[in-house]
Amino acid sequence: MIKTALTIAGSDPTGGAGLQADLKVFRYFNVHGLSVVTSITAQNTKGVDSVFPAEQESFQKQLNVILSDIKPDALKTGMIYNKWMVNIILRSIKEYSLKNLVIDPVSVSSSGKSLMEEGTLDEIKDKLFPLSKIITPNIYEASILTGMIIEDTSNMEQAAKALKNMGPEIVVITGGHLNDIALDLYYDGEFHKIESEKLKGEYHGTGCAFSAALTALLALDYAPLKAVKKAKEFIKEAIKQSFNIGKGMSLLKL
Give the rounded percent of residues in the chain with a pLDDT score beyond 70. Answer: 97
- 59-86 pLDDT, tens digit per residue, is 999 999 999 999 999 999 999 999 999 9
Domain range annotation of the chain: 4-251
pLDDT at 157 over 90: yes
pLDDT band for position 253 (cuts 50, 70, 90): very high
pLDDT in the model for residue 195: 85
246: left (phi over 0), alpha (psi -120 to 50) or beta: beta
pLDDT at residue number 111: 65
Residue 97: per-residue pLDDT: 98
User: Whose CA is closest to 86, among 55, 115, 124, 114?
Assistant: 124
Instruction: State yes or no: pLDDT of 183 exceeds 80.
Output: yes
Cα gap 124→228, rounded to integer Å: 22
Q: Is the pLDDT of residue 178 over 70?
A: no
* pLDDT at residue 41 tops 90: yes
Residue 110 CA, chain-centre distance (Å), reads 14
Strand blocks (E) in 15-146: 32-44, 47-53, 74-77, 101-103, 134-135
Q: Report the chain's mean pLDDT, rounded to a whole number.
A: 94
Residues 6+ apart with CB under 8 A from 252: 16, 21, 203, 204, 205, 206, 209, 235, 238, 239, 241, 242
Its pTM stands at 0.96
Q: Which of 41, 53, 52, 54 is nearest to 13 (CA)?
A: 41
CATH number of the domain at 4-251, out of 3.10.129.10, 3.30.70.1090, 1.20.1440.230, 3.40.1190.20?
3.40.1190.20
What is the model's pLDDT at position 62?
98
